[in-house]
Chain A
């Protein structure tokens, strides 16, 4: 099944790697937040229809975070980089304004 993932605040010309159960599912270069819409990038990822591990890595900043997600209850994931840590939110929908 597909989940919606958004990279929101705190990214500034960063390389961002997202893995699903250890397999690379997304790699973004020069990922930069446009602050007035809190948006750096967004994507749909194919994930298993069961709880899985979503890993987020920002190699240049030494940031690595692993999240346990159940796509059936968390179909939307908003990721921000704040104070050297990935902060995840699971809103009812993703949109930018």
Chain B
């Protein structure tokens, strides 16, 4: 038998209705619908950027009836890797169970989603499971796209709450809405729980039984102590985004009685997972003369708990909606009777607030929780007041591959102008061999997200997109493959260059699986002189970035000029090492250029001879005189690669002496280096020694250097 869910004001249940005529309410159609994996829409999505096909999953949230309908439909289309399209439409009813509306919001790979309107038709079946929604997508100049979605749930999201409490306190998560006389006359008298409040928002809520947290009497809490407690006591704690949050009922914050509660979790990479309310703070101080002080306190505690949990959903205060980085332009609602407003801040104060308060969120808050892209709302995903991170990633439950993102220096601090080369290590941590693409750690195979404090996240768009057959290799248990990526710049520009703190996260895509690294923080120091500030304007260009990432050029002269100037003006700064390598590299080979001839009717190959002596003068100060600096700023992987490649090339051109010195330095330096108790692998040293042996054994003319 289908059941009536009073929280949603909808019918739920999968069983057939035995006697439809006896059902006392209309059959609402709102809820979550999806196309099963592998289903194909009637026409393809249209021109798509690489990576959006095939569609892995497509779901919609129809929001047209039930409690607080927003007259909206939103959808999420998930492709392979982490690509995704998210859209939202406002709906107008045109007939029973038929709506139409314009798509006003698109997020993600929206270039492949040219549709501007939707026609929506809902069909009820004899059971909830039989409900379907058909959507016809339309756009100018593109064929219609028709998709039929099947009912999944009457709720839009599924979330878990865990209410723990300081020993001696009580996690009271219910309230009698009629207990206090100051309330809207129309407010239903009921026992309202926090769970019910969020079910009415559209979330299917599960709760974990709360546990007491040992704490001495009179203890006050710091944010860090609460964060530590969350990690210890929350049964679902994980350093990842998940639809779950922890709520602590504590006595007082260390800052005193003026703090009624806080979403304390703006620490670390996964924000908004933990909240607390302070039951002995000012929220337990009713105004003088209140007609029912005990009920006032109960209501204020209940309100505070729901309020802090709203922050965990990334809801801002009612009067600060337009601040920060709102997901869409939002209007401030300073007089809203919402869980997200302060009762004592509205005109008329808390008495006026509660006289009109119906224990609900505003429509723009409901629209956000129900329809905004998941990463903005989900706990532990987008940072508080901001949005970033991997969404919809295909992460396996028990991964056998591990991706490590690191820099080979004790502290991830970079000088101003110093390029950031990240190192990646993909390890088989399982017990069985895994097949992986040997190029899986190349920049164009990875997804790298760069997030500067106070700015939106950006995805690194590398300069080069290779088209290669996968180089499948077996990665045995315990084995690793390595790669290095320039994070500073790509086709988006110089995303990691301004002074400040950055969080970087990478995903490698192995078959259908996304292997995501832990986030890594690094800092870029401010410039040490006005001269550096001015020089940065020339350095932070696409052309110079290309010269750095492609190991030099004899064509992009402006880029070379900038790097030459860097070497001359800032010889002690680390950017000079990178500049020397980029300038020297093309001088170590006979450089080929295709040039037009016969007024452009033909082409010829112009070979510019190597200049080993000039190359040596550039390389020695960087790789031989300051090898520790070179190893640190280039990273071990790139340092070894650069040293070996340049040495072999120099030896080929007869510059044996500097070639030998370069390799000797690399061997000595990497043998000595230990970063965070990690020595360089013996294999690497052995390979460098073998290269040195070959260089020394070769019978070549010697160039004096």
A97 x B304 contact (CB < 8 A): yes
Scoring A35, A38, A94 by chain B CB atoms within 10 A of each residue's CB, the highest score goes to A35
> Does B367 lie at the interface of the complex (its beta carbon under 8 Å from any beta carbon of A)?
no
A96 x B349 contact (CB < 8 A): no
A97 x B350 contact (CB < 8 A): no
> Does B399 lie at the interface of the complex (its beta carbon under 8 Å from any beta carbon of A)?
no
> Does A91 lie at the interface of the complex (its beta carbon under 8 Å from any beta carbon of B)?
yes
A36 x B350 contact (CB < 8 A): no
Across the interface, A9 reaches (CB within 8 A) one of B266, B307, B320, namely B320
> Does A78 lie at the interface of the complex (its beta carbon under 8 Å from any beta carbon of B)?
yes
Across the interface, B345 reaches (CB within 8 A) one of A35, A39, A91, namely A91
Closest 5 CB pairs of A and B: A92-B349, A97-B260, A95-B282, A97-B261, A36-B263
Across the interface, B308 reaches (CB within 8 A) one of A42, A91, A97, namely A97
A38 x B262 contact (CB < 8 A): no
Cα distance A78–B308 when bound, in Å? Answer: 21
Q: Which residues of chain A are near B323, meaning CB under 8 Å?
A: 9-10, 35
**With A95-B259, A97-B259, A97-B260 already in contact, 11 other A-B pairs whose C-beta atoms are closer than 8 Å:** A9-B323, A35-B316, A35-B323, A37-B259, A37-B262, A78-B345, A94-B258, A95-B342, A97-B262, A97-B277, A97-B308
Q: Which residues of chain B are near A97, meaning CB under 8 Å?
A: 259-262, 277, 283, 304, 307-308, 342
Q: Which residues of chain B are near A95, meaning CB under 8 Å?
A: 258-260, 281-283, 342, 344
Scoring A36, A39, A93, A95 by chain B CB atoms within 10 A of each residue's CB, the highest score goes to A36
Cα distance A10–B266 when bound, in Å? Answer: 18
Taking the closest CB of chain B, its distance from the CB of A33, in whole angstroms, is: 9
Taking the closest CB of chain A, its distance from the CB of B273, in whole angstroms, is: 13
Across the interface, A38 reaches (CB within 8 A) one of B277, B304, B320, B344, namely B320
Closest to A10 in B: B323
Q: Which residues of chain A are near B385, meaning CB under 8 Å?
A: 35-36
Q: Which residues of chain A are near B304, meaning CB under 8 Å?
A: 97
Taking the closest CB of chain B, its distance from the CB of A30, in whole angstroms, is: 15
Scoring A9, A93, A95, A96 by chain B CB atoms within 10 A of each residue's CB, the highest score goes to A95
Do A93 and B259 contact each other (CB < 8 Å), given the known contacts A38-B317, A38-B320? no
CB 8 Å contact bits of A30-71 with B (1 = contact, 0 = none) = 000011111100100000000000000000000000000000
Q: Which residues of chain A are near B350, meaning CB under 8 Å?
A: 92
> Does B90 lie at the interface of the complex (its beta carbon under 8 Å from any beta carbon of A)?
no
What are 13 A-B pairs at a CB distance below 8 A? A9-B320, A9-B323, A34-B266, A35-B385, A36-B266, A36-B311, A36-B384, A89-B345, A95-B281, A96-B259, A96-B260, A97-B260, A97-B277
Which size class do B's interface residues fall under? Answer: 20 to 34
Cα distance A95–B252 when bound, in Å? Answer: 13
Closest to A92 in B: B349
A93 x B384 contact (CB < 8 A): no
Cα distance A87–B323 when bound, in Å? Answer: 14
Taking the closest CB of chain B, its distance from the CB of A78, in whole angstroms, is: 7
Name B residues whose Cβ lies closer than 8 Å to a Cβ of A. Answer: 258-263, 266, 277, 281-283, 287, 304, 307-308, 311, 316-317, 319-320, 323-324, 342, 344-345, 349-350, 384-385
Q: Which residues of chain A are near B259, meaning CB under 8 Å?
A: 37, 39, 95-97
A91 x B344 contact (CB < 8 A): yes
Name A residues whose Cβ lies closer than 8 Å to a Cβ of B. Answer: 9-10, 34-39, 42, 78, 89, 91-97
Taking the closest CB of chain B, its distance from the CB of A80, in whole angstroms, is: 8
Closest to A82 in B: B323
Closest to A95 in B: B282
Taking the closest CB of chain A, its distance from the CB of B316, in whole angstroms, is: 7
B262 x A92 contact (CB < 8 A): no
Cα distance A39–B259 when bound, in Å? Answer: 10
Closest to B312 in A: A36
Q: Which residues of chain B are near A42, meaning CB under 8 Å?
A: 258
Q: Which residues of chain B are near A91, meaning CB under 8 Å?
A: 342, 344-345, 349
Closest to B332 in A: A82
A35 x B320 contact (CB < 8 A): yes
Cα distance A80–B43 when bound, in Å? Answer: 53
Q: Which residues of chain A are near B307, meaning CB under 8 Å?
A: 97
Closest to B386 in A: A35
B344 x A93 contact (CB < 8 A): yes
Taking the closest CB of chain A, its distance from the CB of B486, in whole angstroms, is: 31
Across the interface, B282 reaches (CB within 8 A) one of A10, A36, A93, namely A93
Q: Which residues of chain A are near B384, meaning CB under 8 Å?
A: 35-36
Q: Which residues of chain B are near A96, meaning CB under 8 Å?
A: 258-260, 262
Closest to B261 in A: A97
Q: Which residues of chain A are near B349, meaning CB under 8 Å?
A: 91-92
Closest to B320 in A: A9
Closest to B307 in A: A97
Q: Which residues of chain A are near B260, meaning CB under 8 Å?
A: 95-97
Taking the closest CB of chain A, its distance from the CB of B306, in whole angstroms, is: 11
Q: Which residues of chain A are near B277, meaning CB under 8 Å?
A: 97
Q: Which residues of chain B are near A38, meaning CB under 8 Å?
A: 317, 319-320
Q: Which residues of chain B are near A37, meaning CB under 8 Å?
A: 259, 262
Taking the closest CB of chain B, its distance from the CB of A2, in whole angstroms, is: 14
Taking the closest CB of chain A, its distance from the CB of B332, in whole angstroms, is: 10
Cα distance A89–B344 when bound, in Å? Answer: 11
Taking the closest CB of chain B, its distance from the CB of A49, in whole angstroms, is: 21
Taking the closest CB of chain A, its distance from the CB of B701, in whole angstroms, is: 62
Cα distance A10–B277 when bound, in Å? Answer: 24
Q: Which residues of chain B are near A89, meaning CB under 8 Å?
A: 345
Taking the closest CB of chain B, its distance from the CB of A44, in whole angstroms, is: 11
Closest to A6 in B: B258
Cα distance A39–B247 when bound, in Å? Answer: 21
Cα distance A95–B260 when bound, in Å? Answer: 7
Q: Which residues of chain A are near B281, meaning CB under 8 Å?
A: 95
Closest to B278 in A: A97
Cα distance A83–B311 when bound, in Å? Answer: 24
Q: Which residues of chain A are near B308, meaning CB under 8 Å?
A: 97
Cα distance A31–B167 when bound, in Å? Answer: 35
B342 x A36 contact (CB < 8 A): no
Cα distance A96–B258 when bound, in Å? Answer: 6
Cα distance A36–B316 when bound, in Å? Answer: 7
Closest to A94 in B: B258
Closest to A78 in B: B345
Taking the closest CB of chain A, its distance from the CB of B431, in whole angstroms, is: 44
Closest to A4 in B: B258
Cα distance A93–B257 when bound, in Å? Answer: 12
Cα distance A42–B260 when bound, in Å? Answer: 15
Q: Which residues of chain A are near B324, meaning CB under 8 Å?
A: 35
Q: Which residues of chain A are near B317, meaning CB under 8 Å?
A: 38
Cα distance A39–B261 when bound, in Å? Answer: 12
Cα distance A42–B258 when bound, in Å? Answer: 10
